[in-house]
Every structure is written in structure tokens, then in C-alpha cells.
Amino acid sequence: MSVQSAAADVDVDLRQLFASLARNWRRIAIVTLVVTGAAFAFASLATRHYKAEAQLKIETGESVYTRPNGANDNDKPILDEEGIATEVQIVSSTDILKQVASKLNLARLPEFDDALNMSALSKLLVIAGLKGDPEEIPPEERVLKKMRENLNVYSVEKTRIIAIEFSSRDPNLAAAIPTEIAKAYIATQGSAKVALNSAATAFLGPEIADLQKQVKDAEARVATYRAQSDLLMGGNNSVLATQQLSELSSELSRVRANRSSAEATADSVRKALQGGGSLDAVPEVLSSELIQRLRERQVELKTNIADLSTTLLDNHPRIRALKSQLADLDGQIRNEAEKLMKGLMTQAQTAQARENQLVADVNTLKAASARAGEEQVELDALQREANARRQQLESYQANYLAAASRKDRNYLPVDARLVSEAQVPSEPYFPKVVPIVGAAFAASLLIMAIITLLRELFSGRAMRPAAGARFDRIEQVAMPVIRHEPAYVEAPANIEPEGDHVAEAAAQVETAAVPLDIVAAEPPPADVRPKRSSFGEIDVEKAAEKLIASGAARAIFVSPEGDEAAASAILVAREVSDAGLRVLLLDLTASGAASRPVLDSALFPGITNLLASEAQFSDVIHADHYSDCHVIPVGTADPVRAMRAADRLPIIMQSLTTAYDLVVVECGPADAQDISRLVGDATEVFVSMLEPDDEVAQATVSLIESGYRNLTLVTPVGHETPGTPVPGRRSAA
């Protein structure tokens, strides 16, 4: 089944809606004044309560000048959000409240002990078991319970301030309790610091004595081990064996370098002598003074020979003498070079011997250094232990002296201070007469106005057809009248039935939220007797199947033959309901022929009561005694008064199609004009008949000529259901 929207067919009449406030102003005013008076009486007679507030500031109490040298940022109190919240819980702790209750002797006050001065009513409630006996609770717990009920401790947002609020019937007590709580908190913090300081001195004294002995023993072990291991310290704070090994290693490297240099030089001189090459390329030869003097003499002789060769021949005695001297000089130079080579070889051999000696010494020192290193490791471990114990001893001694001095001078500042004491309040914070009375007046007035508007809206009186709706506005519609048998006359011969136009068309049903209509059935003229004709009809089961298959939202039944033919509407409604659909049967007959057999009575409120604003939808919808179908009967209201609100009938009809899958309307002997106010989208029109006589044919032809071509004839003959009248001939009564 589709859904039919009625948002464009109905509107809320705001003028009619808000006019209900004026019509019911007396009731609204009476209820508002009663509630306001009750609020005023409560505010005037209620017990006065006073509230006062004290404030604590959480801060570091230690001065920068008195803070111990070893103190750091980790020793400061935690002042973050969690730290402040922790202090809030400490302020409202049981121990502090007990101290304040004991100091102010709150147990003697009836305000803090329900067991004192109990009223007769309270005693009766205790005896009856409707109230707990306060004497079963210890007096201290009763006082603490009342204190917690009136106490409010909280941290001021984005600050390090803790506010302590307390309310009491006595203004002086309301100011004294939060101040005493703050002082008790500060005293508790100071006592805690004193206890911690005493515990620290009690712990540090014996520890210092033990550490002094341990330091002495550790240092003695260091000295003993040093003496036993013969670990002599050299330069750079290193063991002597290690230092000697380093020096010998350096000397060995130097000797090896000298030996290598001497061997290389001697080898180069030997190669020059053996190969007959020039000795001038050897740096060591050139560096010899004797060889250089010989070279100078050799150069001088070569110069003289060259000078004399210009005037004398080679065989001249003078030249021959000079050449002989020159040859002697070459021999001397070679002899000196050989001597130099031998000296270098001797130097290399000496360096080799020195190197061998140094290698032996280094190997000896290596073993000694390794042994000294192991001993040094053990010595260092003993030294570290002694140093650690000495540092711990010095730290403990400094802390002990600081703690002892604070204890002697009684200087233990707490990390909180009272920045604002509670002042005695001059006015009660509860009750506030003007706000309470004003709030009661405004709330009661608003609630009564809302209730009145909702009643007017749900009753349907504030609904009106929307602009552009498809149904016409009518001033008054006549109620159904008693139908009598018309006189039969011959109708003109040209009136022919239009049975070809009777079709079974299905329309899609769309859910909407609008309400319904009642139709007046006018009797056809008595001077016209239509020509008898025959039409094909279907039974109740076929009609129900047609409605289910087409998905119709409305089924309009016209019964030209009177009350007995109304059985078709009842039977079809029950058949569709048994198929599982939500079905409503609306009775618009004058005699209640469609609802009386279903409800077994004609005294139920119905459509006329709904139109006359005497009932709501929930009051006029009843259940069929023999099926799941719902029924709206004719009702018991004055028909004339009901018809004055006939313009609301299409709205009511549309609302029913929204709530139900199918609305079956029994109209009685109505004509096309009457049922036009009931027809909407997805509507099927049926003509109920008992016998296919001319009366039925005339009504059928009239409906077809008026535009209802998709007309279906249905008969209840042969179908019996409990509570349904047996079809027969009887005029509408």
C-alpha cells in the first residue's frame, strides 16, 4: 500500500489555536495563582540557610633563603591539576572534619544530630518503619554525615585556590566551620611535616654512624692493598711500570730508526764504490770534511792542468806530475768513502745490539705492567667504594644538620595558607522568595498554556483545510433521513444502463495525515421508476480481494436498498481485516445500521461526537467484537450541532486514511453528490445490493453518469458472519 500525503490539504488554524487561551483564561489563571501561592507559602515558611566561604592558597611555603642547598625542583609540592584535586580531598577528609566537629562541639546541636529533638511525626515514622532510626547510627557518624551534606570543597578554575563553602541555619556557625576546616588543614599539614622531619633525623643519626665506620674501613683497605701490591705511581698519575714501558717503547723506536738509516746509507755507499759511480750523490760522503777538502784539492789540480795544457803538452813533466797527484786524490777519496761505509756498518751493528737489549727490557716491563694493571683495577674498585661511602656520608651529614636545625628552631613552613577567612553572612542564600515565586509563576503559566494549546490541537478544533484543498467548504450538510420505498413508475425508454462503464480499476494509496467526512443521503425522486436492468455483481470475498489487490485506501459503499444491504460493508471490512490489514469501518447511516450489529449497541460515542468537539479520536474508535476491525459508529451527539462543523469532515477522513490501511465507509442510500465529499485518491466505490431490481439499477446508472465509471456491485447474499444481520428487504430506519 502506498502512502498519501495530506500536508497540502490541512493547516493549523493559529487564530483558533491561540483563541483557546482566551477561552480558558480562568482555568489558566486559577492554576497559576494556586501554584504561585503555594510557592510563596513554601518560600515564606521554609527554614533559612546561610552560606559562608573560606579560601586556601596552595603554594610553596619554603623561602629561597632557607631552602637546603641540596633541594631541587623535585622537592617542591606538586601544584598541577591533580595535585590541587588531591588537596581538595584532604581538606574534606574525615580526620579534619572530626577535629572541627570536636572543637566546635557540633554534636550538641540538633542541626547536626537528627536524634536530638525529634518531632512526634518523625518518631511515628520511625516506629512504623517508614524512616530509619537515627539512634542506630553512632553520634559521630551522624554529625559527619550532616557536615558532608552542607560542605562543598572545590578548586577555583585555573587557579591554585581551594574554596571551602558551608551552609547552616546559624550564620555564625556557617562562617566558623569553613574557617576552622582551613585552619585544621594547615595544622594537619604542619604536623605531617614535623612528623616527616622527626622521622628523617631518627633515620639519619644511626645511618651516619654506620657510614663513618664503613668509610674508615674502606679507606684502610685501599691503603693496605696499595702497600701489598707495590704499586708506585709515576707521572700523569700512572703506575711506574706502565710509565717505564712507555719510555722504553719510545727509545726502541728511535734506535730502530737509527739502525735502519745507517744500514741504508752504508748500502748506498757500497753500491757506489762497487759500481764505480760518483760518490757525490751520497749525502753522507759529501758531508765528510776530509772528502770535501780532497774534492777541493782535486778541483784545484784539474784547474792547474787545464791552465798548463794551453802551453804545455801532455807529456810535459809538469803536467804529468799534476795528473799523478790528481790520481792519488781519487784514491784517497775512495779510501775515505770506504772508511765512511765501514763506520756506518759499525753504527748499524751497534744500533742492532741496542735494539735487542731494548726489546728484552720491553718484554720484561710488559709482564710487569700487565700485573700492575690488574692490581690497579682492584685498587680502583676499592677506591671507588671508599669515595662512594664518603660522598653518602657527607650527604647524610648535611641533611641531618639541616633537619636537626629546623627541629631545634621549630621552622617547618607548610605549603598552604589561609588567604580569606569566612565572613558571617547577613542574608540567607535559601530560600530566595522573589526568584522562587517568579519561577513558579512563569513555569505554571507556561505549562498551562502549553497544555491548553495541545488539547486544542489534538482535539482537531485548531485544524482547517489548507488553501487549494480539493474538497469544497460547506456551510451545513443534512443528516441522513429515513428512506421509504419509492413509488415505481415507468422510466423513459431512452434510459439505458451503462454497464460497459463498470470496471475494476486499482489506484495506489498514499498515506496522509488528515481527518474524515459524513455524507447525507437524499432519497431519489419518487416519481421516477428506472427501467429494470441487470448488472453483473461480485460477492464479499471477491470485493475484499479487489480492495487488497488494488491497494485502495478508501472503500465507499452505497446501499440503495436500505439497512439490510449495509451488511456488505461489514462483511468486506472483516474480510480485509482478517487478511492482516488495518481496517476501519465508518458508519454514516442515520440508523447506525453498519455499526450497531458490530458493537451490539448504539450508545457508543462516534462521528457526531467528534464533530461536536465532545470527544477525541481515541474516544470514538471502537473494536469489532467479532474481528480485528475498528469501528466509528454514528455517535450520540446532537446531529444539528455536529453538522455545523461539517467543514472538518474531509480533514477527519484524510486522517483516518493515514492511520489505517483501508477505511470502509457505509453511506446508506446516498447519491453521487453526497459521496463526492468522501472520495479521495485510491478510492473504490461499491453499490451494495440484495436483489438486482430497478432500484439498484437506477442508483448505479446515476453514479456512473456522475463520473464514477469504476463502479462495482457487491452482494452479501450467501455470506454469513457472527453479528451480521441476515440480508433481507427492509427500508432504512
pLDDT per residue as tens digits for the range 118-159: 767 777 777 777 777 777 788 899 899 999 999 999 999 989
- The DSSP symbol for 47 reads P
| Cα end-to-end distance, the chain, whole Å | 36
Residue 716 contacts residue 540 (beta carbons within 8 Å): yes
Alpha helices, DSSP H only, in 479-557? 540-550
> Residue 193 in 3-state DSSP?
helix
What is the rounded distance in angstroms from the CA atom of residue 588 to the CA atom of residue 675?
A: 11
> What does pTM read for this prediction?
0.46
Highest mean pLDDT out of 246-260, 448-462, 570-584, 685-699 = 570-584
Give the angle subtended at the CA of 348 by the CAs of 344 and 353, to the nearest 5°.
150
Question: Taking the mean position of all CA atoms in its chain, how far away is CA 642?
Answer: 57
CA–CA distances in Å: residue 41 to residues 27, 29, 667: 21, 18, 60
Is the alpha carbon torsion for 355, 361, 364, 369 positive or negative?
Answer: negative
pLDDT value, residue 445: 94
pLDDT value at position 223?
A: 83
3-state secondary structure of 410: coil
pLDDT of the residue at 3 = 35
Cα distance between residue 363 and residue 256, in whole Å: 16
Find out whether 232 and 239 touch, Cβ atoms under 8 Å.
yes
Residue of 213 and 374 predicted with greater confidence: 213
Query: What's the distance, CA 382 to chain centroid?
Result: 61
How sure is the predictor about 284, in pLDDT bands with cuts at 50, 70 and 90?
A: low
Burial 218-247 (b: 16+ CB within 10 A, else e): bbeebeebbeebebeeeeeeebbbbbbbee
429, HSE (Cβ side, Cα atoms, 13 Å): 15
Q: Taking CA 162 as the corner, what is the angle to CA 159 and CA 165, rounded to the nearest 5 degrees?
A: 135
SS3 label, residue 171? helix
Please give the average per-residue pLDDT across 651-674, as a whole number: 86
pLDDT tens-place string over residues 62-71: 766 676 665 5
Distance CA 630, CA 594 (A): 12
> Whole-angstrom Cα distance, residue 608 to residue 590?
11
List the one residue out of 23, 30, 34, 32 whose CA is nearest residue 459.
23
* Distance, CA of 404 to CA of 464 (rounded, Å): 94
Mean pLDDT of the region 289-295 = 72
Taking residues 656-681, report their average pLDDT: 85
**What crossing angle do the helices spanning 14-23 and 433-459 adopt, rounded to 10°?**
130
| DSSP class of 691 | S
- pLDDT tens digits for range 534-584: 445 788 888 899 899 888 999 999 988 888 888 888 999 999 999 889 999
Residue 597: how many CB atoms within 10 A of its CB? 20
Give yes or no for residue 260 having a pLDDT over 50.
yes
Instruction: For residue 364, give the amino acid letter.
Output: T
Q: Nearest-CA neighbor of 163 among 88, 241, 80?
A: 88
664 φ, ψ (degrees, to nearest 5): -100, 120
- Three-state secondary structure call for residue 703: helix
Is the per-residue pLDDT at 524 higher than 80?
A: no
What is the phi/psi pair of residue 662, to 5°?
-145, 135
Beta bridge partners of 631: 585, 622
Burial (0-12, 13-18, 19+ Cβ within 10 Å), 19? middle
Q: Highest mean pLDDT: which of 166-170, 426-430, 507-511?
A: 166-170
Which tens digit of pLDDT belongs to each residue from 601-615? 778 888 888 888 888
pLDDT, tens digit, for every residue of 340-352?
A: 777 778 877 888 8
Kind of pairing between the strands at 662-666 and 554-558: parallel
Query: Distance (Å, rounded) from C-alpha 31 to C-alpha 12?
Result: 27
pLDDT of residue 637: 85
CA torsion sign for 228, 234, 237, 241 is negative
What is the pLDDT at residue 5? 40
> Could you read off the pLDDT of 73-100 as tens digits, one per residue?
555 555 788 888 999 999 999 999 999 9
Query: Tens of pLDDT along 438-493?
Result: 999 999 999 999 998 888 777 666 666 555 544 444 344 343 443 333 333 333 33
Query: Using CA atoms, how far apart are residues 634 and 460, in angstroms rounded to an integer?
Result: 18
Residue 31 pLDDT > 70: yes
Which of 255-259, 406-410, 568-572, 623-627 has the weakest average pLDDT?
A: 406-410
Residue 387 has pLDDT above 80, yes or no: yes
Is the pLDDT assigned to residue 331 strictly greater than 60?
A: yes
Of 45-49, 224-228, 290-294, 675-679, where does mean pLDDT reach its minimum? Answer: 290-294
Strands 463-465, 50-58: pairing is unpaired
Q: Where is average pLDDT lowest: 86-90, 183-187, 642-646?
A: 642-646
Residue 690 has what DSSP assignment? S
Please report the pLDDT score of residue 648 as a whole number: 77
Q: Please give the Cα distance from 639 to 614 (Å, whole number).
A: 12
Q: Assign 250 a pLDDT band (cuts: 50, 70, 90).
A: confident
pLDDT band at 235 (very low <50, low <70, confident <90, very high): low
What local confidence, expressed as pLDDT, does residue 2 receive? 35
In the predicted structure, residue 320 carries a pLDDT above the cut 70: yes
Instruction: Assess contact for 540 and 571: CB atoms under 8 A.
Output: yes
Strand 683-688, strand 554-558: pairing: parallel
